[in-house]
Structure 1
């Protein structure tokens, strides 16, 4: 059995998709609309984003993107800061990691 996809409820599917495409290299699949976007990554994992104005996740809910190196994590952290996102510097926890609040109301972990 293979996990086929994960659907996330977001306040703005387009903004959330643009963020994931710009910073994490996801690709938009054909079709979709302003309320529903299908994304795919290099491992062919499908992430669907569905607009829902009542979006609320538990405090520790997040999605994560593993990078090749700590330098890659540092570079993305700086890029997000430069682009105006409120991100703390990476720290050593279970990995070299930081979190960012993405448009649409989801939290993203970046780690190596």
Structure 2
């Protein structure tokens, strides 16, 4: 079994879509309404939908909620980090290696105010 679809609710569908297209290689398959929902897909067939159906509430995610995008190498993690940093995104601490599973990662807050982990498994 594989997780192949996720929906995130955000205040600004267009802004969040651009973030995932720019830094994670998603491509837009469809935008419905006036940016009510955008359907994105990556090269592995993972579908990310980004929505704001009500337009009257701001979604709030729990403190530890995050989504992760696994990269193939530490160099790819660093490249995304450096690109985001150069683009003026607050990427926080540089990627670092964590024990246990042996991962290298960093966290960034995506438009929509939820965490994204960029990582590779060493």
Is structure 2 residue 57 aligned with structure 1 residue 56? no
Is structure 2 residue 98 aligned with structure 1 residue 90? no
Residue by residue over 1:58-94, the C-alpha shift from the partner in whole angstroms, topping out at 9 and shown as x without a partner, is: 1111111111110111111111111011112001124
Could you tell me which runs of 5 or more consecutive residues in structure 1 were left unpaired when the two chains were aligned: none
Could you tell me which runs of 5 or more consecutive residues in structure 2 were left unpaired when the two chains were aligned: none
Q: CA offset at residue 2 of structure 1?
A: 6.5
Residue by residue over 1:27-61, the C-alpha shift from the partner in whole angstroms, topping out at 9 and shown as x without a partner, is: 11134241210011112111111125321111111
Equivalent residue, structure 2, for 1:14: 14
- In 2, the alpha carbon distance for the partners of 1:78 and 1:31 equals 29
**Which among 91, 101, 115 is matched to residue 107 of structure 1?**
115
8 Å CA contact retained: 2:10, 2:16? yes
Kindly tell me the number of residue pairs found equivalent between the two proteins: 112
Q: Which has the larger radius of gyration?
A: 2
Equivalent residue, structure 2, for 1:77: 81
Distance 1:3 1:92, change over 3 A: closer
- In 2, the alpha carbon distance for the partners of 1:79 and 1:57 equals 26
TM-score (norm 1): 0.90
Superposition RMSD on alpha carbons, in Å? Answer: 1.7
Runs of 4+ in 1 over 3 A off after TM superposition: 1-4
